[in-house]
Amino acid sequence: MAPWNTVRSPRLPGPGLVLTESAAVSKAGSQIRVVVEVTPKRAFASAIDWPGWSRSGRTPEAALEELAAYTDRYQAVAAAAGMKLPKVTGVESFTVVEEIEGNATTTFGAPGTAAATEREAVTAGEADRAAELLEAAWTVLDQVVAASPAELRKGPRGGGRDRDAMFNHVLGAEQAYAAKLGVRVRQPSGDDPAAIRAMREQLVAVIRTDRTGAPARAGGWPPRYSARRLAWHALDHAWEMQDRRA
């Protein structure tokens, strides 16, 4: 029996794992809703109410373990937003509410599919909360950038971007993600805080004013998925930067 609770877990085509309910966890009551995105080679687990708290693994089980392992690091994001995470004792603190078939983006290494819950109508309070947590993820990233040396320790294969290149990579991705929210903006330079702030304000405005869960433009992303993807990417590189400080 899996040690996490499962509310809904439709069977995926192919080799996708179907997560089963743990009676013990169901009885205890889990506090943190998680969506699991599955491909044959990689899975992503995302705490759906905490944008940016998403981790991957070779299997759904490994992704959930990794998500639990990053609880303390995500606490800094919650604190920056003036919030507090529920207590996490391990994967038993998670309720898997949805299992999604992933795509090539998932396999490549990013959460690539919007969950059904991210396409639902939202209240003003829910939209504000997603926006605040995204802003908190950016705050954490900015703090890490400011505290990191220009040259970072190389990765296990001798590669990896240094601080400024990594930060500019994040900004470039955000400029590309902006189009999915119907926002047209030029990529700001990493040494132009006013331009960075202006871009972020435009992105947050779309997320904060969302009420329907529908993409802001045809072929775009649901705003709450956008918040999750933006926050995940900012934090993924913030945490990498921390780990590679010389």
Calpha distance 246→143 (Å, rounded): 17
Same domain, 36 and 90: yes
- Indicate the burial class of 243 (C-beta count within 10 angstroms; 0-12, 13-18, 19 or more): exposed
pLDDT surpasses 60 at 31: yes
Same domain, 100 and 127: no
Q: What's this model's pTM, rounded to 2 decimal places?
A: 0.88
**Residue 246's pLDDT is what?**
65
Q: How many independent structural domains does the chain possess?
A: 2
Domain's final residue, options 67, 85, 113: 113
Spatial CB neighbours of 42, under 8 Å, sequence gap ≥ 6: 56, 57, 58, 102, 106, 107, 109
Percent of the chain past pLDDT 70, that is, above it, reads 87
Same domain, 37 and 105: yes
Q: Regarding predicted confidence, which is higher, 10 or 77?
A: 77
Same domain, 24 and 109: yes
User: Torsion over CA of 178, 111, 83 and 68, rounded to 10 degrees?
Assistant: -160
**Residue 52's pLDDT is what?**
98
CB 201 within 8 A of CB 181: no
pLDDT surpasses 90 at 116: yes
Domain that holds residue 149: 118-243
Q: Regarding predicted confidence, which is higher, 197 or 158?
A: 197
Spatial CB neighbours of 157, under 8 Å, sequence gap ≥ 6: none
* pLDDT tens-digit readout, 132-172: 999 999 999 999 999 999 999 998 766 899 999 999 999 99
State the average pLDDT for the chain: 90
Same domain, 38 and 133: no
